[in-house]
Amino acid sequence: MTQPSAPSPDSDRSASRPTVRLRPKAEARAIRHGFPWVYADELVTDRRTRALAPGVLARLEDSERRPLGLVTVNPNSKIICRMLDRDSGAEVDQAWFAARLRHALALRTRLFEAPFYRLVHAEADGLPGVVIDRFGKVAVIQPNAAWAEALLAPLAAALVEVTGVTTVIKNGTGRARGLEGLPEETVVLQGAVDGPVPVTMNGATYMADVLGGQKTGLFFDQRPNHAFAQRLAKGARVLDVFSHVGGFSLAALAGGAESALAVDSSAPALDLATRGAEAGGVAGRFSTRQGDAFAVMEALAEEGAQFDLVVCDPPAFAPAKPALEAGLRAYERVARLAAPLVAPGGYLGLCSCSHAADLSSFRNASSRGIGRGGRRGQILHTGFAGPDHPLLPQLAESGYLKALFYRMMP
């Protein structure tokens, strides 16, 4: 007589998890083809589903009860499910995280000689809602989804195991956490930090405030756009507006710019930019001006100032669709004020990190603003985030950064 086989651990684990199901009209095919999210109006949200704790792991099925994979559920979020694994029985433990991190690390070590990069870019690296930036022996985790907050301990342990970093910081700030119902806090999970971390990129030295700076302390995404601007900057007078810690200005000086002026509303950011200039040996050609960027550009125009290269890298004016119209007006205003500050034959770089503003809309707003500023320009180059910020083809939101470089006509 044949003995029945024992159930596998995976099947036991899958059976013990809650099940959530797509509505009949929801598009299961998109999930099967790689789309990583389920919106709240696509899921059957009965009393049992609404009672699930934010971040719980569950089996996702289509309306015909066919399995789609393992998801994390947050009933309080517009993105109610995030796909974690095609295997509904996968164990999301330190080993699971380590496998994802090794795959991500293999790309970054192939791309960069020094360990300064974005190690994990959320959904595109198979860890939805998770951002990890690496600064040598220091790593900063942004757990922007409830599931990552709940499983932060095995994630951090896997990060140390795979990369060998000695300091791990949780940066729990930002708009995304609020949408997930998570509190804001920054905590050193392991090791210690005694000040800003020096980071070398494109021959420049930046000072990253990994505890109190914007985001994780430095924007790695602009690295290729810094490099392109650097090619335009040799012998040039450079204006870097919304400079943060000197992203474009310090790269320009490393490329042989005659001088660079960094403008930002944040005194701490400008102090870090100055310290970066000193560390890079270019402090004698670097200056700062604190104030509202729009007001400073207006003042510079009244002073008759002109520069050979002007770059504007503002914050996200259109982080979501409701802000799109106002955001595009703000980008147009940036271009209108910046264009007259460019000397004839000089160059203008305009950037947007807004998810809601696609490239075409941003380009139209920028070109319109240049025209309203009384100038004409030709587009030389369109840039995007660096390859340590990979794009998930099924998720347009993972490709947020746009950079346009114009040459201004005489």
- Domains along the chain with CATH numbers: 16-85 (2.30.130.10), 94-190 (3.30.750.80), 203-408 (3.40.50.150)
Q: Is the pLDDT of residue 237 over 70?
A: yes
Task: Choose among 121, 136, 122: nearest CA to 168.
Answer: 136
Task: Choose among 268, 256, 231: nearest CA to 349.
Answer: 231
CB under 8 Å to 5, separation ≥6 — which residues? Answer: none
Q: What is the mean pLDDT of the chain?
A: 94
* Catalytic-residue membership of 351: no
Q: 25 pLDDT band (50/70/90 cuts)?
A: confident
Q: Per the residue annotation, which of 81, 312, 351, 353 is the catalytic one?
A: 353
Q: 8 pLDDT band (50/70/90 cuts)?
A: very low
Task: Choose among 48, 118, 61: nearest CA to 88.
Answer: 61
What pLDDT sits at residue 175? Answer: 84
pLDDT in tens, 249-273: 999 999 999 999 999 999 999 999 9
Given a contact cutoff of 8 angstroms between Cβ atoms, the answer to whether 297 and 338 are in contact is: yes
Q: Is the pLDDT of residue 348 over 60?
A: yes
The model's pTM is 0.93
Q: 84 pLDDT band (50/70/90 cuts)?
A: very high
Alpha-carbon distance of 276 to 203, in angstroms, equals 12
- % of the chain at pLDDT higher than 90: 89
Q: Is the pLDDT of residue 317 over 80?
A: yes
Q: Taking residues 365-380, what's their average pLDDT?
A: 98
> Which 8-state DSSP code applies to residue 21?
E
Q: Taking residues 236-259, what's their average pLDDT?
A: 98
Q: 301 pLDDT band (50/70/90 cuts)?
A: very high
How far, in Å, are 327, 333, 334, 343, 408 from residue 372 at the CA level? 17, 9, 11, 16, 14
Q: Is the pLDDT of residue 9 over 60?
A: no
Q: Taking residues 270-286, what's their average pLDDT?
A: 98
Q: What is the DSSP string of 232-255?
A: H-TT-EEEEES-TTTHHHHHHHHT
What pLDDT sits at residue 7? Answer: 41
3-state secondary structure of 163: helix
Given a contact cutoff of 8 angstroms between Cβ atoms, the answer to whether 147 and 181 are in contact is: no
Q: Taking residues 373-396, what's their average pLDDT?
A: 95
What pLDDT sits at residue 384? Answer: 97
φ, ψ for residue 127, nearest 5 deg: -130, 80
Angle between helices 152-163 and 94-111 (to 10 degrees): 40
Task: Choose among 179, 153, 150: nearest CA to 55.
Answer: 150
